[in-house]
């Protein structure tokens, strides 16, 4: 906040996608910090459970069921937040959905829904929040993106499109808001998170899905977001895989994408069969989920996994660097 008088008041925080996973963990983190919370998602009963936990932690909490793909619902969320708290200090735009499957085998309406939720939904959030920030003269808008904002994910084409688009949107928004030093747009790029979204997502592969270790505890992401409320910065990466993926893609996008596609084909060929499902794309999941996805193993060793990730990156770089040499040798033989 720009002045000490305002800083002495409890923060007012809006969190979309707050019914489980990172959103719930972030709501509880801000509740412990004494914030006044406005939490939103499609699932009203799940939101009420989260609000109850936040109230037990000593926070005031307002539940506003909201579908972020609907601009009028997001505008109503902003109005109710202003009525409840008198202003909005932090808006955490956290909604994210996905579908795994070959692009041509995933229904087109599923692709469209991913773009609506992951990109248009965040734009709707910003469209509601930014005018309030400008009137106040301060505010922090937190975009939950993912390592998918830095490198494409084969077999999740619409998800990749939404995250690449969201990164570009946020960068453009920061440029527009540069003359306003107390208004910040903060992007958060976690690696794979052990949240219910893994199980809740759409799956058109016919195979059981998981995520590669080391999986991040959603509470770690929440602590980062809480820290951004005090020390905002444009880009925050969480987990070594994000940095490795970003570097590998920057050096050789084609090689890194082909390696990822190869990994996905190998994984899907060996994974057990599973039903095809649209997951939580079009309606809230039947299982409310909570914070944890249940995929983390107590025996995981982050250091070993980081070393494997480094080897994968090195292999990608070797592949990328070897191709020009092969082409040169072919030319020399002619």
Q: Transcribe 137-154 into DSSP letters.
A: T-EEEEEE--GGGTS--T
* Buried-state track 65-81, b at ≥16 Cβ within 10 A, e below 16: bbbbbeeebbeebbebb
Q: How many CB atoms lie within 10 A of CB 239?
A: 22
- Catalytic annotation, pick one of 127, 159, 204, 267: 159
Q: Helices 218-230 and 21-32, interaxial angle, to 10°?
A: 50
Q: CA 144, 149, 150, 153 torsion: positive or negative?
A: positive
Assign residue 290 a region: left if phi > 0, alpha if psi is -120 to 50, beta otherwise?
left
Active site residue 159: yes
> In the numeric block, which tokens belong to residue 49?
């459970």
* Residues catalogued as catalytic: 159
């Amino acid at each position: 906040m720009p002045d000490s008088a305002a800083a002495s008041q409890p923060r007012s925080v809006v969190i979309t996608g707050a019914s489980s996973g990172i959103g719930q963990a972030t709501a509880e983190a801000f509740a412990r910090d004494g914030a006044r919370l406005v939490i939103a998602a499609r699932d009203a009963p799940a939101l009420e459970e989260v609000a109850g936990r936040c109230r037990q932690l000593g926070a005031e909490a307002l539940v506003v069921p909201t579908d972020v793909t609907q601009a009028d619902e997001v505008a109503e969320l902003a109005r109710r937040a202003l009525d409840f708290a008198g202003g909005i200090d932090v808006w955490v735009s956290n909604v994210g959905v996905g579908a795994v499957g070959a692009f041509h085998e995933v229904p087109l309406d599923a692709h469209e829904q991913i773009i609506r939720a992951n990109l248009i939904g965040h734009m709707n959030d910003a469209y509601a929040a930014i005018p309030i920030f400008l009137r106040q003269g301060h505010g922090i808008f937190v975009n939950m993106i993912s390592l998918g904002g830095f490198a494409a994910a084969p077999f999740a084409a619409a998800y990749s499109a939404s995250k690449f688009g969201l990164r570009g949107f946020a960068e453009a928004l920061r440029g527009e808001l540069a003359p306003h030093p107390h208004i910040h747009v903060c992007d958060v790029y976690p690696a794979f998170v052990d949240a219910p979204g893994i199980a809740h997502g759409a799956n058109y592969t016919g195979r059981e899905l998981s995520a590669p270790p080391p999986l991040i505890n959603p509470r770690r992401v929440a602590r980062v977001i809480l820290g951004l409320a005090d020390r905002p910065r444009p880009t925050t990466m969480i987990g070594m895989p994000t940095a490795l993926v970003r570097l590998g893609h920057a050096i050789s996008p084609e090689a890194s994408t082909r390696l990822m596609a190869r990994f996905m084909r190998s994984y899907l060929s060996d994974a057990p069969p599973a039903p095809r499902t649209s997951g939580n794309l079009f309606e809230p999941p039947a299982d409310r989920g909570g914070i944890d996805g249940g995929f983390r193993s107590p025996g995981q060793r982050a250091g070993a996994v980081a070393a494997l990730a480094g080897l994968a990156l090195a292999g990608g770089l070797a592949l990328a660097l070897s191709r020009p040499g092969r082409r040169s040798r072919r030319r020399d033989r002619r």
